[in-house]
Structure 1
Amino acid sequence: MNQIDHIAIAVFSIKQTSQLLHQLFNWHFSDIQEVPEQEIKASFASLDHVHIELIEPMSDSSKLHTFLTKKGEGLHHIALKSGDIHADLNHLEHLGVQLLQKSAQKGASGKQIAFISPKETSGVLFELCEPLKGEKHGNE
């Protein structure tokens, strides 16, 4: 858990934001993928060894839509690479860390993810992310 996999930015429109970031920084985003398990749409830009993920709610009833309504667009979470998400979750639980889910769930690109409560980390939402073997983000 000592490498950043990606930084996620919550947006109302991936299309608009990706166009703006392309214009400003020449970032190239992958095709938009739907992640029904998380009720989001996602798109990635690769910057050396870190990815920027734009996430958009799939509906007004999603948790992400609630987040955007309360806090507005901006940083959503920082994802840390996990070599074994189940072992890392067990370790954190053993330490008494509050997890938002006790087991991994399916995230974007089919990887396994789980979140640590931001109450534990000075208000920052951290995601554990176990990449698939040989994983490539959309535009790599």
Structure 2
Amino acid sequence: MRFDHVGIATRDAATLADLFGTMLDAPVAHREAFDGLDVTFLDVGEGYLELLEPLDDEGAIPRYLDREGPGLHHVALATPDVSAALETAREMGVELVDETPRPGAWGHDVAFLHPQSTGGVLVEFVER
């Protein structure tokens, strides 16, 4: 596995993309509307910053923003096989958010591990 991206919950992805884009020389690598979100990936060299802006008031990101405010939402690790990574985590007793991979942004398969089992960090496995 290797680092893939950090997900950042925000109410203004365009402004944050401009800030990080200029400050870090991080161009937009991909942008799409996905699952009620405006999702923007900024290329920071060895990975991405994923900006997550809700398009409506439904879903996990709007709830997160209401509860926690803007900021770091999750850390994503790239794996060649999300199913195998989930099975390893399951065998180790890690609580899973997703029992099986599901479609994610940019057309990738993803699955999340519950932060109660991972030191308070929401971990995402992503298969590119």
TM category, shorter: over 0.9
Q: Shift of residue 29 of structure 1?
A: 1.8
SS in 2 for 1:16: helix
Q: Shift of residue 48 of structure 1?
A: 1.6
* Conserved? CA contact 2:5–2:47, under 8 Å: yes
SS in 2 for 1:80: strand
Query: Residue 16 of structure 1 aligns to which amino acid in structure 2?
Result: T
Kindly report structure 1 stretches of 4+ aligned residues shifted beyond 3 Å. none
Instruction: Map 1:101-112 to 2 at 5 A.
Output: 101-112=98-109
Instruction: Map 1:1-140 to 2 at 5 A.
Output: 1=1, 3-30=2-29, 32-36=31-35, 39-131=36-128
Once residues 126 and 25 of structure 2 are traced to their aligned partners in structure 1, the CA distance between those partners, rounded to angstroms, is: 26
Q: Shift of residue 90 of structure 1?
A: 1.4
* Conserved? CA contact 2:30–2:42, under 8 Å: no
- Report Cα offsets for 1:36-79 as digits up to 9, x if no partner: 2xx32211111221111111112111210000111111111110
Q: What is the TM-score when the length of structure 1 is the normalising length? A: 0.85
Matched residue, 1:138? none
Q: Shift of residue 4 of structure 1?
A: 0.4
Once residues 85 and 104 of structure 1 are traced to their aligned partners in structure 2, the CA distance between those partners, rounded to angstroms, is: 6
Report the identity percentage. 30
Structure 1 unmatched runs, 5+:
132-140
* Conserved? CA contact 2:94–2:118, under 8 Å: no
Q: What is the total number of aligned residue pairs between the two structures?
A: 128
Once residues 111 and 91 of structure 2 are traced to their aligned partners in structure 1, the CA distance between those partners, rounded to angstroms, is: 16
Q: What is the TM-score when the length of structure 2 is the normalising length? A: 0.92
Once residues 86 and 121 of structure 1 are traced to their aligned partners in structure 2, the CA distance between those partners, rounded to angstroms, is: 18
Once residues 67 and 87 of structure 2 are traced to their aligned partners in structure 1, the CA distance between those partners, rounded to angstroms, is: 31
Question: Residues 11, 112 of structure 1: CA spacing in aligned structure 2 closer, same or farther, 3 A cutoff?
Answer: same
Q: Shift of residue 30 of structure 1?
A: 3.7
RMSD: 1.3
